[in-house]
Amino acid sequence: MDVPGCAMFSAAVLIRLMLLCFGVYQDQNLQVKYTDVDYHVFTDAAKFITQGHSPYNRSTFRYTPLLALILTPNILVTSYFGKLLFVGCDVLCGPLIFRLSSLRGVSRSSAWVYCGLWLFNPLPIGVSTRGNAESLLAVLVLSTLLCLECKRLRSAALLFGLSVHMKIYPVTYALPIALCLWKPASRRRGVTRNFLACFSGDLLQFAAVSGSLFFALSVTFYNIYGWDYVHESYLYHVTRRDTRHNFSPYFYMLYVTSERSWSGGLALLCFLPQLLLLLVSSLMFHSDLPFCCFLHTAVFVSFNKVCTSQYFLWYLCLLPLVLPRLTFSVRRGVGLLLLWFVGQALWLAPAYYLEFEGWNAFALIWIAGLMFLLINSLILAQIVSHYRPVEVQQKKPR
């Protein structure tokens, strides 16, 4: 690593360590705590594992037991282990972005700039230092894309299977990955040969390795924790109806219909716009996998039944890979960024009065959520219309 890179990573690590120390002070001395509530949930679940019990004895722990198992040093060593792990993953995203950008034809100096957009972004810094595990998923997703870019299919398949096991949203990448590995039909081959060619060796290998790891982990944890594992890790997120205020355009509809017998079916119907948009983006942009995964994640988050600020990290870690190929001006890019923040501010204003002043502001929050969805859709439309796809396959390392 050259001098600019060392200086950048040193500064990024220092900022995060300073915030970790400040978080300890704030938790001990101020009424408003710095540490995220989820971090206490993770730690409590890890404590149950060390005692030989199920992590699901901790209410609201709706993740894979593997996460609680990874965080058992929170109990056995120090309560700050998990935060240090998440911060380490947060920083590790930097070199992964740099390497991917370089493989996609970005110059070394520009790759450092795009890397810095992640390393000094206040949102991932705040999320990881407060003890949220999203950076762990970001590392798995970026590592999967890097291995695919380098044609290391077995490693990519293992990482993909693990990422889907850790959190369900990366499963949306399965279709564009399959389309990338799929061999197109040829007029010189017959119907039978074209059908068999669809199931290429690379595609079958990727599906077999990733699927085997996912099912091996699932069967193992099902045998240990039973139906609680299946429901809390996966089914809950499919049937979830979060009627608390969030950025989702559906939350108010689910809130006012929560007592109806048919509200569960309505919640499932909310997935249809996501599925249609994911299918269209896969067919149109699968040849540029990082860009397609960015679109998938942005669509999934924007149209999800539940949408909170930490979900934004799911696509922000992929944004530095997209920015080098956008053809609009820096001025327009800054304008779109400001518009994105304005959309959040419009939502946060009524949310504050609901949360802290007790106002009945649910309808205003819902209207602000619709405006934020409109803003996100406008930004995605601008990105798609001004994106220059990768035309020349970059030379891959052996």
pLDDT tens track, the chain, 398 positions: 677 778 899 999 999 999 999 999 999 998 889 999 999 999 999 999 999 999 999 988 989 999 999 999 999 999 999 999 999 999 999 999 999 999 998 999 899 999 999 999 999 999 999 999 999 999 999 999 999 999 999 999 999 999 999 998 999 999 999 998 886 644 555 445 555 555 668 889 999 999 999 999 999 999 999 999 998 888 877 666 665 667 788 877 777 776 666 666 666 677 788 889 999 999 999 989 999 999 999 999 988 888 888 889 999 999 999 999 999 888 999 999 999 999 999 888 888 787 777 777 778 888 888 899 999 999 999 999 999 876 544 444 43
pLDDT score for 392:
43
In a domain, 77, yes or no: no
The range of the structural domain enclosing residue 171 comes to 134-239
- pLDDT for position 349: 86
What is the C-alpha end-to-end distance of the chain, expressed in Å? 20
| Domain co-membership, 276 together with 229 | no
How far is it, in rounded angstroms, from Cα 367 to Cα 246? Answer: 12
Q: What is the DSSP secondary structure assignment for residue 326, as one 8-state letter?
A: B
pLDDT at residue 351 in the model: 82
Provide the 3-class DSSP secondary structure of residue 330.
helix
**Site of tokens 């077999």:** 208
Domain end call among 205, 239, 273: 239
d(C-alpha 70, C-alpha 55), whole Å? 12
Measure the CA–CA gap between 118 and 96, rounded to whole angstroms: 11
pLDDT at 123: 92
152 and 282 in a common domain: no
Among 228, 244, 246, smallest CA distance to 236 is for 228
**C-alpha triplet 95, 99, 100: angle, nearest 5°:** 120
Q: Assess if residue 392 is contained within a domain.
A: yes
Chain centroid, CA 58 distance in Å: 24
Q: Which of 181, 216, 239 is the last residue of a domain?
A: 239
The conformation of residue 387, written as its DSSP 8-state character, comes to B
User: Tokens 């909310």 appear where?
Assistant: 270
CA distances from 168 to 128, 140, 153, 234 (A): 20, 13, 21, 7
CA 146 centroid distance within chain: 16
User: Do residues 186 and 295 share a domain?
Assistant: no
pTM, whole model, 2 decimals? 0.89
Residues 297 and 197 in one domain: no
Q: Are 89 and 128 in contact (CB under 8 A)?
A: yes
Q: Pick the last residue of a domain from 239, 260, 279.
A: 239
Same domain, 163 and 197: yes
User: Do 246 and 299 belong together in one domain?
Assistant: yes
Looking at the structure of the chain, the number of domains it has is 2
For residue 20, tell me if it sits in a domain.
no
- Please state, in angstroms and rounded to a whole number, the distance separating the CA atoms of residues 331 and 51: 56
Q: Say yes or no: 262 and 219 in one domain.
A: no
Torsions phi, psi of 360, nearest 5? -85, 80
* CB distance 347 to 374 below 8 Å: no
Domain check: are 222 and 173 in the same one?
A: yes
Cα 112 to Cα 98: distance, rounded to the nearest angstrom = 6
DSSP 264-291: HHHHHHTHHHHHHHHHHHHHHHTTSHHH
Q: Is 225 in the same domain as 360?
A: no
- 362-385 and 289-302 helices, crossing angle to 10°: 160
Residue 85 lies in a domain: no
Q: Give the CA count within 13 Å in the CB-facing half-sphere of 268.
A: 6
pLDDT given for residue 185 in this prediction: 47
CB neighbour burial string for 338-371, b if at least 16 within 10 angstroms, e if fewer: eebeebbebbeebbeebeeeeeebbebbbbbbee
Residues 251 and 376 in one domain: yes
Same domain, 227 and 244: no
Are 299 and 390 in the same domain? yes
